[in-house]
Structure 1
Amino acid sequence: MFLAATLAIAIFVTAYALIASEKIDRTKVALGGAALMLLFHITDAENAFFSEESGIEWNVIFLLLGMMVIVSVLRQTGVFEYLAIWAAKRARGKPYRLMVMLVVITAVASALLDNVTTVLLIAPVTFLVCERLNLKVAPYLIAEVMASNIGGTATLVGDPPNIIIAAPSRGDLSFNDFLIHLAPLVIVLIAVFCLMCRWLFRSAFTYDPALAEEIMTLEEREAITDRRLLVQCLLVLGVVVAAFVLHPVLHYEPSVVALLGAGLLVAATKVTTEQALEEVEWPTLVFFAGLFVMVGGLVETGVISKISQAAADATEGRLGLATMLLLWASAGLSAVVDNIPYVATMSPIVADLVQQNGGNDKAQVLWWALALGADLGGNATAVGASANVVVLGIAARNGTPISFWQFTKYGLVVTFVTVALATPYLWLRYL
């Protein structure tokens, strides 16, 4: 087992270094790493494809696939052009005001939908409005994906790790639990993040009065090319959003809801299958699959559980120390390992810690520490959260690639500030 664990670490670290260096396409690296995990029997087909603990997280893969299809159909209506012109006009063509508007919209939408769905919807708008105003699109996309990770922290359906934490076998938490305990902090974090954007992306705010004046003369309603299809899309999207919010009552997984919505939209409209699938980011989905298999190898060999258990043992039953250690360790590890498999691995240990600390309402702070650490820590690097990977894939596909380090140099700062603000919040409110 020691040899297998050592080999798993070597494969994962090498793959991560290659992804960070960007010398080899990240999808090739993820597939290669997954293949090596299987080749050396670190994991096997049974665990890689069917295990809930160490296999591919199919709920995430199919959630992404379903929402990508819905967005692809929605694009046919011209609604993204409409939203781009509307946002630019409301911001009066001023770059920083536009960024704040897009950040707030993204954060709110991420709390109601999920962060991946939100960035899939907002990214096309961002490309169009930045093209209209001759702005660099990368800073806006980076700001939006970070806002989506922060905003998604507020609710059960906002970030995939929250769904894992809320499961009956884990924290057994409701939609309202997340809203009451995390939403107040998220509002503060978004306000602080908007202020940070002024400094972080200051070089991107180039104002062109002529282009701004030209934007003000446009009529956004003219951008809508198919009103009937738009109504159909909005109805389906509304039902999908409602099903996400009502997850605790309906008990339909978000992935099932997304696939049902996508299937209904393709079946009920004149959009062809080819048109519906043309916007699907297949390399991104394959990258996730490979990444899940690699992380699964670390799970199978006990590497992640040993790290997590060591952190648990170090607290020696002290709730305050356990909370702070869990918050910061989760933020650090979620920066390196995608926060979904990390939370899936860590949640059983947190459940034990909650019971060791009395299992009462006060001990529930450990769940909030895990959620905040994992969700906010996902902003630290380009592969820390699902939304990050999706946005980088969209950017590359549209000819404006965002490098690993371009994202990470901003992400580290944002993660440190937001987690630092979460620290006194948890301490003062619960400890």
Structure 2
Amino acid sequence: MSVWPALAATAIFVVAFVFIATEKINRVAVVLGAAGLMALLGLVPGSHVFYEQHAGIDWDVIFLLLGMMIIVGVIKQTGVFEFLAIWAAQRSRGRPYRLMVLLMAITAALSPFLDNVTTVMLVAPITISVCRRLGVPAAPYLIAEVLASNIAGAATLIGDPPNIIIGSRAGLSFNDFLVHMAPVTLLMFLAFLVLARVMFRRSFVHHPERFEAVRDMDARAAITDPRMLVRCLVVLGLVMAGFMLHTVIHVDVAVVALLGAGLMVLVTRADTSAYLAEVEWPTLVFFTGLFVMVAGLTETGVIGLIGEWASDAVGDNYLTAATGLIFGSAVLGAFFDNIPYTATMAPIVENLVAGAPDPVTGEALWWSFALGADLGGNGTAVAASANIVVLGIAARAGEPISFWQFTRYGIVTTVLTTVIAWGYVWLRYFAA
């Protein structure tokens, strides 16, 4: 490995990572600047960065996210998300904790299939509106929702951006994630429901007179186009079936998402400007620049060197490796956005897996990595994209959430769920 290119790539990446973590400069501008600088210095593999999956931009990730964003953008035009929020408020009968549980349940049910960033973008504004009607502070509900979303999103390939990166790198299918991640995700979510009752207990103030106004709202009126909703649900069901059967029908999940988006647009004749406005273009550009940055580390040999060091440190003790991936990823992921962290670590974990004595142990390392990266996203206010999105929505709505207000709840949640995740990995893959 040539020393100077490796040092240059590392320096560019570290500086960019610091700017991303501190949010001193817009993160999209940071990754584009860093990617451009690496290209200018010849640290990335030229035109190959656009064509080689493990040495450049992972287009499977980009197009999977694009397809799902378009699908959600079309579904949003039906008003079904507003219906769910009003329904939850009415079903709770104005009881704050019951309302929180229902909103978290809706968020958790959507996150595994619509990705957590998209889900919180849809649910958070509605939550603010309902909380104002009930006269309760919105911040605890928003924090609880995003924490629940990050937990529930771990259940599937598309639920959390780190999973998309890991699945693409490791060749893990939608069904693989369901079988290995969904059971522990459900357990962690149930534990979080109990924890939320304790953490947010001081915010649960019941105003019976406020509930009267919500009780009289017509939830069904929120659905503006029932026929369009039926068509959307049929197509969404086909997309979910495609995700679960993609290893049988041999169609990549990114292609399934794009076909589903095209079919939904075709059968609903949705407003093009409306659903394209829902696409998170900055997020897609961020991913693209990030992959170029990671390609610079891979091409200059930095990733390989770190992987060799990690393999030597672990030796033959793969339980230690799994433990390090769970807790180490949770700690590091809590201080840095888990998307760049996952993209950086994925090649290193791949090297560890290559030396595993059997496929089960190798997969256990991937699941440990996925759990740690996903759960670390709850650690601080800047640890996951969903967190940042919710804080922005809250600030614009006049319901600001400070860094430490979020973080003090996030740290407790991360500790609890990470311990549960470690116990699950140990029992399922190493105790036998």
* 8 A contact 2:45–2:295 mirrored in 1: no
Partner of 1:99 in structure 2? 100
Counterparts in 2 of 1:411 and 1:43: CA distance versus 1, 3 Å: farther
Alpha-carbon distance in structure 1 between the residues aligned to 2:250 and 2:116: 20
TM-score (norm 2): 0.84
Q: How big is the alpha-carbon RMSD for the aligned residues of Structure 1 and Structure 2?
A: 3.3
- Separation of aligned partners in 2, 1:106 and 1:331: 22
**TM superposition shift of 1:267:** 2.4
The correspondence of residues 372-383 of structure 1 with structure 2, limited to 5 A, is 372-381=371-380
In structure 2, what is the equivalent of residue 192 of structure 1? 191
Q: Structure 1 residue 237: deviation in Å?
A: 1.8
Q: Does the 8 A contact of 1:111 with 1:153 survive in 2?
A: yes
- Listed as ranges, the matches of 1:27-426 within 5 Å are 27-112=28-113, 114-116=115-117, 118-119=119-120, 121-123=122-124, 125-159=126-160, 161-162=162-163, 170=170, 177-202=176-201, 204-335=203-334, 336=336, 338=339, 340-342=342-344, 344-354=346-356, 357=357, 359=358, 361=360, 364-381=363-380, 384-385=383-384, 387-388=386-387, 407-426=406-425
Task: Return closer, same or farther for 1:9/1:421 CA change in 2, 3 Å cut-off.
Answer: same
Secondary structure in structure 1 of the residue aligned to 2:54: coil
The Cα of 1:402 is off from its aligned counterpart by: 6.2
Q: Which residue of 2 aligns with 1:18?
A: 19
Offset at residue 317 of structure 1 (A): 0.7
Cα separation, partners in 2 of 1:110 and 1:80, compared to 1, 3 Å: closer
2:318–2:361: 8 Å Cα contact kept in structure 1? no
Partner SS, residue 246 of structure 1: helix
- CA 404–276 in structure 1, closer or farther in 2 if over 3 Å, else same: same
Normalised by the length of structure 1, the TM-score is 0.84
How far apart in 2 are the matches of 1:58 and 1:397?
A: 33
Quote how far apart the aligned CAs of 1:216 are: 1.2
Shift of 1:43: 1.9
Code of the residue aligned with 1:353 in structure 2: it is G
State the 1:262 CA deviation.
1.9
Q: Structure 1 45/402 Cα, relative in aligned 2: closer, same or farther at 3 Å?
A: farther
**TM-fit CA distance, 1:419:** 1.5
Q: Which amino acid aligns with 2:96?
A: P
Kept in 1, the 8 Å contact 2:297–2:303? The answer is yes
- Residues in 1 aligned to 2:197 and 2:354: alpha-carbon distance in whole angstroms: 42
* 3-state SS, counterpart of residue 271 of structure 1: coil
After superposing the two structures, state which structure 1 stretch, 202-211 or 55-64, moved more.
202-211
- Where in structure 2 are there 5+ consecutive unaligned residues? none
Deviation at residue 136 of structure 1 after TM alignment: 4.8
Q: Distance in 2 between matches of 1:390 and 1:251?
A: 35
User: What is the CA distance between 1:80 and its match in structure 2?
Assistant: 2.0
Shift of 1:86: 0.4
Structure 1: segments with no counterpart, 5+ residues:
none
Letter in 1 for 2:372: G
Report deviation, 1:79: 1.6
Q: 2 CA distance for matches of 1:249 and 1:86? A: 38
